Amino acid sequence: MNFFERQAQARVQSHRLLLLFAAAVTGTVLAVSSGIYLMLLFGAKPEELQAVGGPVGLALDRAGLLLVAAVGTLAVIAAASLFRIASLRGGGAAVARSMGGREVSEDTRDPELRRLRNVVEEIAIASSVPVPAIFVLDEEPGINAFAAGYAPGDAAIAVSRGALLHLNRDELQGVIAHEFSHVLNGDMRLNIRLMGLLFGILALGVIGARVLELTRGGRDSKNAAPIIAISVVLMIVGYVGLFFGRLIKAAVSRQREFLADASAVQFTRQTQGIAGALKKIGGLQAGSKLQAGDTEEVAHMLFGDGMGFSSLFATHPPLHARIQALEPGFNPQELDRLRAQWAMKPPHGLEEDIALGFSTPSHEPLPARSSDIPLQVERVVQQVATPSGEDFQRAGSLRAAIPAAINSALQVPERAQALLLALLLDREEQLRGQQLHAVRELLGNEAAQTVPVEAALLIGLHPALRLPVLLLALGPIRHLGRTGQQKLGETVEALIHVDGRLELFEYATGLLLSRQIEDNLHPSARARARLLKLNDCADAAADLLAVLAWYGHDSEATARRAYLSALHAALPQQARPYMTPANWQHRLDQALPKLDRIDPAGKRLLLEAMVVAITHDQRVSLEEGELLRTVCAYLRCPLPPVLE
């Protein structure tokens, strides 16, 4: 199953979730109304019941009350769900903090946390997404992790202290790769919606328990009896809702864990890491259970079973089944042996790293600046969001190749901001002066003085390192605050539009940065956007393909042929003549946001057409390949760092 199929599946599951939620809400409303009716029925005297015409007459006589109860129940569920969804608008970081997570800073020197950051950064580069916020759950001795957020741009990865302590680097890579598969395939957005919707169903039980607690010690027990009875009904109904909520979570998430394990193997091209982590969960006393009181809410998004549910409610497949899917010859009795072995001396991840010889990837030679990349349409489609083991190794090599001075700058938010702006500075002195004037006007004198200093670090930077530097820099700008990020976004727009002579790659880099800032500030905005068909975006697609054909070919004649071939690949029924994209910045400004809303099947066709537009002359330069990656990253179809 490729990226586009997984995206489509996540959308189907979203619709299925809404249907299941609607059924659960309907059942909850009926249960509340039925409970109140039964209270009225058993509380009525025989003569009163006879006067209204028996049980049916009682229902008709009290129809207004029952209707108010039904509407009130709906209102409580809706209000609670909307409240919870609103509280999660902060994206993945809000979920991680609600679970007691502590953010890991970019400049941490703690060996375990530094190893965690290295692994996350390498996988982010390998999958061409911004480095997510990283959190550690300090009070959790079990081995577990989760990814939360609405989109890759606002994702957060949280790892338990037990995972940091007991997993070696290989196993930690497997766990993080598993979580990245949720980041890339649309599972996170479904998970966070599930949290919001189920909170509404569970709210009735919480309200009932709270009211019952407040009235239990009251003096006027006779007058409190109706309130106590209603509270008991709400509690019962609430736990009925909990029953259905757990069933929904199990139905939505169980199969996805098998798929995420398989995706983790695609990332690292080995099964030992992910299987080893699962074995340690089974062999250590703490297992994967979490101790936080809010574990119920996030149980469906954890790497391992955090609640210890029975098979009916289990959000994860049985542990031995997950291991056997990775290692078919695995004997479940092996877990008994590991429990006995580790009861005496639990494994220590850093010590295992030393014994196994794991280390940070070394700096391998970068591709020649003038080398061509042999692209094939089907191969590129297969690589979207599914980097291979070789891609992972290259990502580690690219990260190791980034100069130490740039790495130091990336650890400080203000310097990372200056580096981002430096990536957009024009080579022409006059235009550069205008850009720095814009920086001074929007961010102040200190920023205007810092940008040229950081720009000096980028002199001679290999083109293959440009996008990794950008991806690493997008993390620290989260710490600039809302106002700081808004100012940075305005500054980026000003630098891009100083004049119309910016190179396309510089424009695309700035566009990706602006998009990331938008994701940071409004993480849930895209989750509400309606998807479009490719045919509905034909003009926007034609504009993008025309720009790519124009950029990737030397003459207008060859660019026209490349454009027509690409247009036929994406929209065979459309006839739109090629026009030299004179005002390409404006055309892309208008086209890309609309193309980002295309459904998964349409994006696959568009990606195939983009590759046709660039490769029509059978030559793809490193810069063209990086341009393709940047546009794909904006369209949320991430490609690995070195294309094949």
- Do residues 248 and 170 lie in contact, with contact meaning Cβ atoms separated by under 8 Å? no
- Do residues 182 and 59 lie in contact, with contact meaning Cβ atoms separated by under 8 Å? no
On the 0-12 / 13-18 / 19+ scale of CB atoms within 10 A, 34 is: middle
| Neighbour count for residue 66 (Cβ, 10 Å) | 17
DSSP code of 85? H
Please, what is the angle between helix 389-401 and helix 221-268, to 10°? 90
Amino acid code (one letter) for 580: T
DSSP string, 335-384: HHHHHHHHHHS---HHHHHHHHT--PPP-PPPPPTT-B----HHHHHHHT
Active site residues: 179
Which residue, among 420, 421, 360, 424, has the nearest Cα to 393 in the 3D structure? 360
Q: Give the separation between CA 199 and CA 87, rounded to whole angstroms.
A: 11
- Do residues 149 and 92 lie in contact, with contact meaning Cβ atoms separated by under 8 Å? yes
Which residue, among 493, 492, 498, 369, has the nearest Cα to 428 in the 3D structure? 498
- Do residues 638 and 382 lie in contact, with contact meaning Cβ atoms separated by under 8 Å? no
Q: Give the separation between CA 358 and CA 498, rounded to whole angstroms.
A: 48
- Do residues 249 and 194 lie in contact, with contact meaning Cβ atoms separated by under 8 Å? yes
- Radius of gyration (Cα) for the chain, nearest Å? 28
Length of the chain: 644
Q: Give the separation between CA 43 and CA 40, rounded to whole angstroms.
A: 5
Tokens, residue 404 = 């130490």
